[in-house]
Amino acid sequence: MERNSNFIFIPLGALFIAVGNYFKVIQPNYFIGIKTSRRLESKEVWKLPHAIVGNL
């Protein structure tokens, strides 16, 4: 029983890796990402926090 409950951590870890890799290449938009008015105005301001979050 204990072994089956720990099995969820493998797909959850894979999901975090996939989302982290996606955050590094995401373009400014209004649907996904860390959205503030300043970040949406400039691509440079958008990319830095998303690159840091993608690595975390």
Mean pLDDT of 27-54: 75
- Is 32 in a helix, a strand, or coil? coil
Mean pLDDT of 30-35: 73
Residue 6 DSSP code: G
Measured in Å, how far apart are the chain's first and last C-alpha atoms? Answer: 31
Relative orientation angle of helices 43-55 and 9-25, to the nearest 10 degrees: 160
- Assign 3 a pLDDT band (cuts: 50, 70, 90): low
Domain count, the chain: 1
How far is C-alpha 43 from the geometric centre of its chain's CA atoms?
17
Longest dimension (CA), the chain: 51
- Domain of 34 in residue numbering reads as 2-55
pTM over 0.95: no
Does 34 have pLDDT greater than 60?
yes
- Assign 14 a pLDDT band (cuts: 50, 70, 90): very high
Contact indicator for 20, 50 with CB cutoff of 8 Å: no
